[in-house]
């Protein structure tokens, strides 16, 4: 069979529908350990490209001929070369992922979290980057929270939903990906909100979100309540929607807490995170559903398809959140900090408007998974 191509949306559809499929990643084991497509166990097979370059047929002899084989690399180039070699050696059903992992990192998938006559809440999943953003709309108006740089995705979603984007909120100044908030505000005429503690010397136009007790939408009694939740960054905020949904930014994740070290003050910010968890978050009901700005594993999705979990379950799973001693909390959090996100300093400067970058540069800066979480300490 001839080698075909598959784009990220189509590949995602295959994965969701349970198509007979193998993901053949031809990058090195080290690259895959660092960043890969999150799938169910057993779907991903690694055969480094060198085996195809050397014509080592023994390396791929166990690949099935009755399933689609999606070949993956960083940009799609070596995947095509490997697929061509396979096509010469057998009757495989071969597809090359367009633009490889770089293309996958720019794919957005909307999932409806809640919809009734009052309001709709949609989670935008950026699967390859582990980024999550949100649109809440009612009465023909919408709030967008933590938008990524691909602003056309939100414009398209607003058109699909028949709403006008009125407010744009960033829970904090992002360090692992480039925010689309300022550009989306410019395109739509919406107001961009961010804590002034985050912007510092920045030159981007915004409203200081800390000046507001709530931001409302017209048409219904829907209020997005603001919560000061520092720790990941000094000006982090979360948004509590109708006392039911906590858009937690990088403060609380399904599987951990926000890392406090990116400002070079890990101990100080860890203590702020303690105050947030034991002060602001502790009084919230166990029934409140946490909707974070990132995820690390596909297993963090709930049965309804979105990334989120009841706060009670997160508390039960994360022993750190139950620590009542500030020093012990800070020690556990700082001890579990992982690899520093690459390029985070330059991304922060871009998000403050102090540095510009073209599309190719932005793509390179964002390559790789998110690294904003401190993984939870099991009970």
Distance CA 337, CA 377 (A): 12
| CA pseudo-torsion sign 367, 252, 264, 345 | positive
- The structural domains of the chain, ordered by start, are 4-103 (3.40.250.10), 108-375 (3.60.15.10)
Tell me how far apart the alpha carbons of residues 203 and 57 are, in angstroms, rounded to a whole number.
Answer: 57
Residue 19 is given by DSSP the state: -
What pLDDT, on a 0 to 100 scale, did the predictor assign at position 263? 87
CA distance 203 to 352: 6
The one-digit pLDDT tens for each residue of the chain (379 residues) are: 799 999 999 999 999 999 999 999 999 999 999 999 999 888 999 999 999 999 999 999 999 999 999 999 999 999 999 999 999 998 999 999 999 999 999 999 999 999 999 999 999 999 999 999 999 999 999 999 999 999 999 999 999 999 999 999 999 999 999 999 999 999 999 999 999 999 988 999 999 999 998 898 887 777 888 999 999 999 999 999 999 999 999 999 999 999 999 888 999 999 999 999 999 999 999 999 999 999 988 889 999 999 999 999 999 999 999 999 999 999 999 998 887 878 999 999 999 999 999 999 999 999 888 888 777 655 5
Give the C-alpha separation, 341 to 372, whole Å. Answer: 8
- Measured distance CA(274)–CA(347) in Å, rounded: 26
Give me the torsion for CA of 252, 254, 256, 257, rounded to 10°.
-10
- Token pair for 341: 């996100």
H helical segments located in the chain = 8-17, 29-34, 49-53, 77-89, 100-104, 152-161, 181-188, 196-199, 266-275, 311-317, 326-335, 344-351, 359-366
3-state secondary structure of 323: coil
* CA dist list (Å): 333 to 36, 310, 365, 379: 26, 21, 27, 15
Q: What angle do CA 377, 125, 206 make, to 5 degrees?
A: 95
Quick one: three-class SS letters along 230-246? CCCCCCCEEEEECCCEE
CB neighbours (10 Å) of residue 118? Answer: 14
Query: How many whole angstroms from its chain centre is CA 340?
Result: 16
Give the integer Cα–Cα distance in Å for 158 and 139. 13
Task: Record the tokens describing residue 141, joined without a space.
Answer: 């108006």
Q: What is the pLDDT of residue 377?
A: 53
- How many helices (H) and strands (E) would you count in the chain? 13, 21
Dihedral pair phi/psi, residue 217, rounded to 5°:
-110, 150
Residue identified by tokens 């029934």 is 287
Q: Which of 73, 131, 302, 372 is catalytic?
A: 73
Which pTM was predicted?
0.95
Catalytic: 73? Answer: yes
Query: Which phi and psi angles does 279 have, rounded to 5°?
Result: -105, -65
Q: Which long-range contacts (CB under 8 A, 24 or more apart) does 88-94 make?
A: 89/57, 89/60, 90/63, 90/65, 91/1, 91/65, 92/1, 92/63, 92/65, 93/1, 93/65, 93/67, 93/68, 93/69, 94/1, 94/3, 94/4, 94/69
Strand order in the sheet with 289-292: 214-217, 222-228, 237-241, 245-249, 289-292, 309-310
* Strand locations in 52-204 (E): 68-72, 93-97, 108-115, 120-126, 131-138, 141-145, 164-169, 191-194
């Amino acid at each position: 069979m001839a080698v075909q191509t598959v784009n990220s949306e189509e590949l995602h559809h295959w994965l969701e529908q349970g198509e007979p499929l193998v993901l053949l990643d031809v990058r090195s084991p080290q690259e895959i350990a660092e960043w890969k497509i999150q799938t169910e166990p057993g779907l991903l097979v690694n055969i480094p490209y060198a085996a195809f370059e050397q014509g080592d047929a023994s390396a791929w002899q166990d690949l099935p001929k009755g399933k689609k084989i999606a070949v993956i690399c960083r940009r799609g180039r070596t995947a095509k070369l490997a697929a061509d070699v396979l096509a010469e050696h057998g009757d495989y059903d071969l597809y090359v992922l367009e633009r490889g992992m770089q293309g996958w990192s720019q794919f957005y998938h909307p999932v409806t979290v809640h919809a009734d006559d009052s309001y709709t809440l949609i989670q935008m999943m950026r699967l390859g980057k582990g980024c999550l953003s949100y649109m809440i709309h009612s009465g023909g108006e919408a709030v967008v929270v933590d938008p990524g740089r691909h602003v056309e995705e939100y414009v398209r979603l607003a058109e699909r939903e028949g709403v006008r984007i009125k407010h744009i909120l960033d829970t904090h100044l992002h360090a692992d990906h480039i925010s689309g908030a300022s550009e989306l505000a410019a395109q739509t005429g919406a107001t961009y909100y961010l804590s002034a503690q985050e912007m510092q010397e920045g030159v981007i136009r915004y409203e200081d979100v800390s000046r507001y007790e709530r931001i409302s939408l017209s048409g219904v009694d829907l209020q997005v309540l603001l919560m000061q939740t520092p720790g990941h960054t000094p000006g982090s905020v979360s948004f509590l929607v109708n006392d039911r949904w906590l858009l937690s930014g990088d403060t609380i994740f399904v599987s951990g807490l926000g890392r406090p070290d990116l400002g070079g003050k890990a101990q100080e910010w860890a203590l702020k995170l303690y105050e947030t968890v034991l002060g602001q978050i502790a009084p919230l009901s166990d029934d409140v559903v946490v909707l974070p700005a990132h995820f690390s594993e596909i297993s963090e999705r709930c049965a309804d398809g979105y990334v989120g979990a009841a706060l009670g379950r997160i508390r039960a799973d994360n022993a750190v959140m139950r620590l009542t001693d500030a020093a012990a909390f800070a020690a556990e959090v700082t001890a579990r900090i992982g690899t520093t996100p690459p390029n985070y300093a330059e991304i922060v400067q871009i998000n403050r408007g102090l540095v510009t970058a073209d599309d190719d540069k932005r793509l390179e800066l964002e390559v790789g998974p998110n690294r904003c979480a401190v993984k939870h300490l099991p009970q």
